[in-house]
Amino acid sequence: MRKHFILLSIPFLLLALRADAVSSEKGLMVKNVRFFSYAAFTRIVFELDAAAPYVVMKSDNGRSVTLSAYNGPLSAMVSMPVVHDGVVKALELHQEGSRATIVVQLDAAAGEVKDFVLRGPDRIVFDVMKGVVAAPVAQTERRKLIMLDPGHGGGKDAGIVTAQGQEKAVTLELAEAIKRHLLKKNAELVVTLTRERDQALSLDDRAGAANAAGAVLFVSLHAASGAGTRVYIVDPDEGSLAPAPVAHKTFLDFDAGNEQQERIWGSQQASHTKASGELGRRLALQLGMTGGEPVQAPLAGLKAVDAAAVVVEVGMGQDRSWVAEMVAEGIASYAREDR
């Protein structure tokens, strides 16, 4: 009986060994690369087709970190994103014969680099901590940076479409007008747009751009049919402040305990509730909203913004040059105050 069992088990054992061998020979397939700039560190997320062992090499001078597959080739199906936030200088895909590697070039403010794995979907995460050297973005602290975010954009996301035009075009035009008004009277401000052309950007990309630039104020512009203008702020969600789960070890014995850090993304706005409320009230009064109070809403585009943040929704049928002037005045009066 025992003999039969052993004989029967052999094909299954061979299959299991073969499957394991195939898995490790498959190497690493990187489907997407994302990055997020936080106050204390920059996170680079490599989204994988399937989890597999990997190798991290630090250069002798400590200015770069290389990611490669432990066994088999590394292939990246996407181009590397442009990163330059004072901590990470660049992400590069290097091809040496049949062997590819991803090199993370570190900038002056980079400190320790930590890596870990997250499952479901499988990801390799690099956290580049900020070191003792100040990041280049610190120079904008003297000149307050205002980030204007023209909503929607790109071929697939035109926003609402009315006889007055497409929302993506209206918001871009409005953002440019607000920027002009702001710079005309406020030389101490730096005004940047999340997009300056018809371009598709995710909500995280927009929040990430504002956080990376060190914006003190974020105004996302949207449009609606009709003539009214509304100002929105994020309403506090009790769930987003819930404590993170206890760290656990999974997958190839790597410590996946940094889930707690991942949970930070998306809850940055919680610490700016008061400032956003104040900015929202100022803009609501400036725009003549009934009651002078901004509307609270669970806004997906603001929850990851690490600054005072509002959404202004302008009526398509409204005088947009007047709206641009009023929004610019509201922003300027808020930014002028010493915070």
Partner 1 sequence: MPERIDRRIPGDRLLTVVAVVLAAGLCVGGFFFWWRMRAVAPAINATQQPSAAGQLLNEPLVITLSVPVDGLLVAVPAPVTRQPDTQSLAREALAALFADPSGSQAPVLKDLRLRGFYLDAVGTGYIDLAPVEQREVRASVSEELIALYAMVNTLSQNFEEIKQVRFLVDGREVQTLAGHIDLSRKFTKRMDLVKQ
Q: Which of 160, 264, 285, 332 binds partner 1 (CB under 8 A)?
A: 160
**Would you say 167 and 160 are in contact if contact means Cβ atoms under 8 Å apart?**
yes
Minimum separation from the CB atom of position 225 to partner 1 (A): 7
Residue 311 Cβ vs partner 1, minimum distance, rounded to whole Å: 6
CA–CA distance, 40 with 203 (Å, rounded to integer): 21
Give whole-number Cα distances, 318 to 64, 226, 227, 271, 281, in Å: 52, 8, 5, 33, 20
d(CA 69, CA 28): 5
Among 107, 127, 313, 329, binds partner 1 (CB under 8 A): 313
333 part of the interface to partner 1, by CB under 8 A: no
CB-hemisphere CA count at 13 Å for 24? 10
Pick the piece of the chain touching partner 1 (CB under 8 A) from 21-29, 101-109, 225-233, 329-337.
225-233
Residues between 94 and 153 that touch partner 1 (CB under 8 A): 151-152
CB 202 → partner 1: shortest distance, Å? 9
CA distance 160 to 169: 10
H or E element in which residue 329 lies:
helix 320-336
Choose which of 106, 177, 224, 256 interacts with partner 1 (CB under 8 A).
Answer: 224
Q: Report the nearest approach of partner 1 to the CB of residue 257 (Å).
A: 22
DSSP category for residue 198? S
Nearer to partner 1, 101 or 199 (CB): 199
Sign of the C-alpha dihedral computed for residues 139, 141, 143 and 148 taken in this order: positive
Among the listed ranges 12-20, 85-93, 276-284, 294-302, the one in contact with partner 1 (CB under 8 A) is 294-302
Q: Is 289 in the site for partner 1 (CB under 8 A)?
A: no
Q: How far is the CB of 64 from partner 1 (least distance, A)?
A: 33
Instruction: Report the 10 Å Cβ neighbour count for 170.
Output: 23
298 binds partner 1 (CB under 8 A): yes
Task: Collect all residues with Cβ–Cβ distance below 8 Å to 205 and sequence separation of at least 6.
Answer: 194
Among 87, 191, 201, 223, binds partner 1 (CB under 8 A): 223
208 binds partner 1 (CB under 8 A): no
Nearer to partner 1, 280 or 301 (CB): 301
- 213, containing H or E segment: helix 203-213
d(CA 182, CA 332) in angstroms, rounded, equals 7
Footprint (CB under 8 A) of partner 1, residues 242-281: 266
Q: How many residues sit close enough to partner 1 to count as binding (CB under 8 A)?
A: 28
Of the candidate residues 49, 176, 237, 259, the single one contacting partner 1 (CB under 8 A)? 237
Q: How many CA atoms lie within 13 A of 280 on its CB side?
A: 27
Neighbours of 306 (CB within 10 A): 22
Q: Which residues pair with 146 in a beta bridge?
A: 191, 217
Interface pick for partner 1 out of 29, 203, 264, 285 (rule CB under 8 A): 203
Q: Which residues bind partner 1 (CB under 8 A)?
A: 151-152, 157-161, 167, 203, 222-225, 230, 232, 237, 239-240, 266, 295, 297-301, 303, 311, 313
